[in-house]
Amino acid sequence: MTIPLRNTIFDKIKNADSLTDVELYKILTKEEYIIPDDKFNKILLDLEILGLIKVAWITKDERRIEAFVVEKEVDEVEEQNKEVMEKDYEASFPGLEK
């Protein structure tokens, strides 16, 4: 089974963290992925819409592409509330002591 081209391009971006569209196109060409410009731009747009990458213009003809990593913030108060609720739930069953 073949991997969709969009996944392949995303993996290249994720492995590099940050690169330009020219560099990405060269990497893909070296690996024998010949992609027309319109399809290449469409895939980048799709990945950006999905929230997987960020694309920003550097110069008139060159774009910076970065993998977008979402770091989940841990809320300490929320964690404490969750622990208390779990303890209260366990305590609501009489006779089941540990």
What are the structural domains of the chain?
5-67 (1.10.10)
Whether the predicted model's global pTM rises above the 0.75 cut? no
What confidence tier does 28 reach under pLDDT thresholds 50, 70, 90? very high
> Tens of pLDDT along 35-84?
999 999 999 999 999 999 999 999 999 999 999 876 677 778 888 888 98
Residues 6+ apart with CB under 8 A from 96: 90
**Beta carbons within 10 angstroms of residue 9's beta carbon:** 24
The token duo for 9 is 């391009």
pLDDT at 97: 59
Helix axes 37-49, 5-16, angle to 10 degrees: 70
Instruction: Quote the pLDDT of residue 8.
Output: 92
pLDDT at 27 > cutoff 80: yes
What's residue 76's pLDDT?
84
Nearest to 64 by CA among 6, 4, 16: 16
Between 90 and 50, residue with greater pLDDT: 50
pLDDT, residue 91, reads 80
